[in-house]
């Protein structure tokens, strides 16, 4: 019986309010580099995919330095000018995505969270993020319904590492077979949860959202 349901954050409950490439390009242009949105988006996705496949769980947690590597790799392949003030640019990018207004929730999020809680199931979050997430969540009323919230950089380990799931069990006071995760990533979410003995269901937007994930879990 599921007594606690944890959600992933990015891609599951939250998504950037604007395309990442648009933000990267706009901030670069403000510093004199005529970067194009489409190219920046492509560069970001390539750098993110590389880290996601090669790095998750093996290169520490994705904090500020990890994001600096991703943003720099995104830019270097696009002909970033030699005299471009990358450090200042990165700081602006990093701070931008700490703002709640840089993100939007998916339409069903609040209703889903409340529905699960009404069934007597505890609702929490496990995310491969950094402490900026707490500031982001401060902009969404439903975030106050989540307890516990585990953030990888604060815990020193990322999904799919079993340690993060055991930490969640400890904080919730539950056993593995009483916990489930809804996420969006087969590597960090499904492999991590099932490796820890949890149940898991994935969203696949725009085709499959939170309600479908709950149905798979019998919630």
Say if residues 104 and 19 touch (Cβ distance below 8 Å).
Answer: no
Per-domain residue ranges for the chain? 4-15+102-217, 17-101
Number of other residues whose CB lies within 10 A of the CB of residue 2:
18
The closest alpha carbon to 7, from 158, 125, 129, belongs to 125
Alpha carbons 196 and 151: distance in angstroms, whole number: 17
Q: What is the CA 28 to chain-centroid distance, rounded?
A: 24
Say if residues 158 and 128 touch (Cβ distance below 8 Å).
Answer: yes
Which CATH superfamily does the domain covering 17-101 fall into? Haloacid dehalogenase-like hydrolase (1.10.150.720)
> What pLDDT, on a 0 to 100 scale, did the predictor assign at position 8?
98
Q: What is the pLDDT along the chain (219 residues), one digit of tens a residue?
A: 999 999 999 999 999 999 999 999 999 999 999 988 999 898 888 887 776 666 555 555 677 888 888 888 888 878 888 899 999 999 999 999 999 999 999 999 999 999 999 999 999 999 999 999 999 999 999 999 999 999 999 999 999 999 999 999 999 999 999 999 999 999 899 999 999 999 999 999 989 999 999 999 999
Q: Report the CATH number of the 4-15+102-217 domain.
A: 3.40.50.1000
- What is the value of pTM for the model shown? 0.92
The closest alpha carbon to 25, from 89, 77, 83, 85, belongs to 89
Say if residues 185 and 205 touch (Cβ distance below 8 Å).
Answer: no
> What pLDDT, on a 0 to 100 scale, did the predictor assign at position 75?
85
């Amino acid at each position: 019986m599921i007594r606690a349901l944890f959600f992933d954050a990015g891609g599951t409950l939250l998504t950037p309010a604007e395309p990442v490439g648009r933000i990267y390009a706009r901030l670069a242009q403000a510093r004199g580099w005529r970067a194009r949105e489409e190219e920046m988006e492509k560069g970001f996705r390539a750098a993110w995919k590389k880290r996601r496949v090669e790095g998750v769980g093996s290169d520490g947690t994705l904090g500020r330095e990890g994001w600096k590597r991703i943003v720099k790799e995104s830019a270097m392949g696009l002909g970033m000018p030699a005299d471009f003030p990358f450090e200042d640019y990165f700081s602006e990018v990093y701070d931008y995505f700490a703002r709640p207004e840089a993100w939007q929730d998916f339409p069903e999020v609040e209703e889903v969270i409340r529905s699960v809680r009404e069934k007597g199931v505890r609702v929490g979050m496990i995310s491969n993020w950094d402490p900026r997430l707490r500031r982001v969540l401060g902009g969404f009323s439903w975030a106050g319904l989540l307890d516990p919230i585990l953030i990888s950089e604060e815990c020193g380990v990322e999904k799919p590492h079993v340690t993060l799931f055991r930490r969640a069990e400890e904080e919730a006071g539950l056993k593995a077979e009483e916990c489930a995760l809804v996420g969006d990533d087969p590597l960090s979410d499904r492999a991590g949860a099932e490796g820890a003995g949890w149940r898991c269901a994935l969203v696949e937007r725009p085709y499959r959202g939170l309600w479908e994930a709950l149905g798979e879990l019998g919630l």
